[in-house]
Amino acid sequence: MAVPSAMAFPRMNRRRFVQGLVSSAAATWAGSGLLAQSGGERPAPAQGATVLNPRGRVPVSLIIDDSTCLVNLNRFAMPQFNDTFAGANPVYQRDWRDWPVEIPDAFVREFGEWAATNSVKGKYSIVPYPACVGRLDRGLPGWSQAELRDSLEVVRKVMLPNWDIHPEMITHTRVIDLSTGQPFADTSPRFMENWEWTTGRSVDEIAQYLGYALRILRDVGLPCEGITTPGGFGNRALPQLSQASLEAVRDVFHAEVPHYFRHVIDEGTDSVAPRVENAQGLGGTDPRCVVSLIACTGDWTGGWDNTEPVGADRFITADGQAGRLVEVIQRSEPALLLAHWTGVYWNGQKRGLHIFQEVVRRMHQRFDHLHWMKLSELARYAAARELTLIRADDSRVQLQAPFACPEFTLRIPRRSGSAPTLVGAEHRELREVNRPLDLGPNSWHQDAANLTVCFSLPRGTSELRWG
Ligand SMILES: [Zn+2]
């Protein structure tokens, strides 16, 4: 994601390009335009109840792109990008020869342990055949098989518990011929993952390509519920990308709620809430949808190419009063931060990591109602929020849910009577808490006007009852 999209359209800088893209996606979401990603089916609007954020908090998540095992991806990608544009863009002529070939596992551990200590969760890419250096399921020339095995084990042990793993396509550079496993001979933008390959391709062709990437990760023991697009992948095939993500992730991993990361909206007032797309079969035994997660920041930590970082203030200022994260959190939308692993490590100077450490410290100092979540958790919550049929009257709330969802949180007008009980496959008493901030699984809180209930929403039919 968010790599040098600008190159395909040299007159636009990256910001304007991304903005243009996102505006068009937002517009098509509203129902206009030829590239509309269909939202698909929706239930009738909720009656007598409002779905809140999980636990009434604001979800936050960290998106790491361009990571993989051992290989410093962009050290190898940059000369390939330079070839594609025949040396016409100085962006691809930085000092890549001086960059280390490896981002060591010790750094993965350091990052993962810092994140775990601070409750930080998110998405971590594992590019399966990074910059054509080698395949994670076969071997990385330059490293021993034991080193590759150990590196995969670090990802499984340190990262998997708190991070979704995504393929960022197969190589993030050259397009692979799926019949041979080798790159196509053509190195023009038509055969680079970052640029034009998806233009004009069908859902099936794109889904097969995604499936190939996902299978490599499956074969090395890394489960996935979503994918990340490299650079401009899918730019001119947005509806096909959405449907292909749904099909490929379901096919390879049987994920109930597949998701993908493609879009960045790093300024302005357009919504950055997840978009639930291509929903169908909501009343049946095989409901389907796919969720598009949207980052709300640019990479202000050192980029894909070790550039001078914009720094922490752009995310949140030292006094906690301004910055993009503050804007988004104050409007109660999920705030998804973006960075590239190359710049997080920054040639061993760890400049991106240090910025994130400061950003997270400031976030936690300013806000007490944040809820760190993985992208798959955000996707499931968005699907349940959009697609559950909800009818409330004086004595009960009836729910028909195509997908189960932990920490499902509803607000209804205050009512007299005893504590609510969840009646689904089993009865569950809910406990009252004194402060909204104490809302957790299977609890409720009331103030003068409203009652807020947080519970594990079962798939299918269930009810909240009083008395
Ligand atoms: Zn990327």
At 424 the pLDDT is: 83
Alpha carbon of 201 to ligand 1 centroid (Å)? 21
Residues 309 and 217 placed together within one structural domain of the fold: yes
Q: What is the per-residue burial (b if ≥16 Cβ within 10 Å, else e) of 334-348? A: bbbbbbbbbbbbbbe
50 lies in some domain: no
Alpha carbon of 414 to ligand 1 centroid (Å)? 48
At 30 the pLDDT is: 38
At 467 the pLDDT is: 67
Q: Cβ distance 178 to 187 under 8 Å?
A: no
At 194 the pLDDT is: 96
Alpha carbon of 172 to ligand 1 centroid (Å)? 7
Residues 156 and 290 placed together within one structural domain of the fold: yes
Give every residue of the chain whose pLDDT is below 70, as ranges.
1-36, 417, 467
At 9 the pLDDT is: 30
Residues 133 and 164 placed together within one structural domain of the fold: yes
Alpha carbon of 135 to ligand 1 centroid (Å)? 17
At 466 the pLDDT is: 83
Q: What is the per-residue burial (b if ≥16 Cβ within 10 Å, else e) of 7-39? A: bbeeeeebeebbbebbeebbebbeeeeeebbee
In tens, the pLDDT along 332-351 reads 999 999 999 999 999 999 99
Alpha carbon of 64 to ligand 1 centroid (Å)? 9
49 lies in some domain: no
338 lies in some domain: yes
At 270 the pLDDT is: 93
Beta strands in 298-432 (DSSP E): 335-340, 370-372, 389-392, 396-401, 405-413, 420-423, 427-429, 431-432
47 lies in some domain: no
Alpha carbon of 230 to ligand 1 centroid (Å)? 4
DSSP conformational letter for 399: E
Residues 425 and 288 placed together within one structural domain of the fold: no
Residue ranges making up the domain that contains 250? 5-42+57-380
Alpha carbon of 266 to ligand 1 centroid (Å)? 16
48 lies in some domain: no
Structure tokens at 295: 């980052």
Alpha carbon of 341 to ligand 1 centroid (Å)? 9
Alpha carbon of 258 to ligand 1 centroid (Å)? 19
Domain boundary among 327, 348, 380: 380
445 lies in some domain: yes
Residues 333 and 462 placed together within one structural domain of the fold: no
Residues 212 and 328 placed together within one structural domain of the fold: yes
Residues 357 and 414 placed together within one structural domain of the fold: no
d(CA 282, CA 163): 28
52 lies in some domain: no
d(CA 289, CA 42): 11
- Residues contacting residue 292 through CB under 8 Å, at least 6 positions apart: 37, 242, 259, 260, 261, 262, 263, 274, 275, 277
Query: Which position has the token pair 């689904």?
Result: 424
Alpha carbon of 6 to ligand 1 centroid (Å)? 13
Residues 287 and 178 placed together within one structural domain of the fold: yes
- Residues contacting residue 315 through CB under 8 Å, at least 6 positions apart: 297, 300, 323, 324, 325, 337, 355, 359, 362
51 lies in some domain: no
Structure tokens at 140: 């990385």
Q: Dihedral through CA 303, CA 86, CA 194, CA 98, nearest 10?
A: -30
Residues 68 and 197 placed together within one structural domain of the fold: yes
List, as ranges, residues with CB under 5 A of the ion ligand 1: 3, 65-66, 230
Query: Which position has the token pair 């493609």?
Result: 262
Residues 262 and 367 placed together within one structural domain of the fold: yes
* Cβ atoms within 10 Å, residue 319: 10
The two beta strands, 370-372 and 460-466, are: unpaired
Q: What is the per-residue burial (b if ≥16 Cβ within 10 Å, else e) of 418-430? A: eebbbbbeeebeb
Residues 305 and 445 placed together within one structural domain of the fold: no
d(CA 247, CA 251): 6
d(CA 242, CA 38): 9
Structure tokens at 181: 């496993």
Burial of 255 (0-12, 13-18, 19+ CB in 10 A): buried
- Number of domains comprising the chain: 2
Alpha carbon of 412 to ligand 1 centroid (Å)? 42
For residue 183, the domain's CATH number is: 3.20.20.370
d(CA 15, CA 267): 10
Alpha carbon of 213 to ligand 1 centroid (Å)? 14
Q: What pairs with residue 412 in β-bridges?
A: 451
Residues 329 and 184 placed together within one structural domain of the fold: yes
Domain boundary among 380, 399, 420: 380
Alpha carbon of 66 to ligand 1 centroid (Å)? 5
Q: Cβ distance 89 to 11 under 8 Å?
A: no
Domain boundary among 380, 405, 424: 380
At 382 the pLDDT is: 98
Q: Cβ distance 135 to 158 under 8 Å?
A: no
Alpha carbon of 5 to ligand 1 centroid (Å)? 10
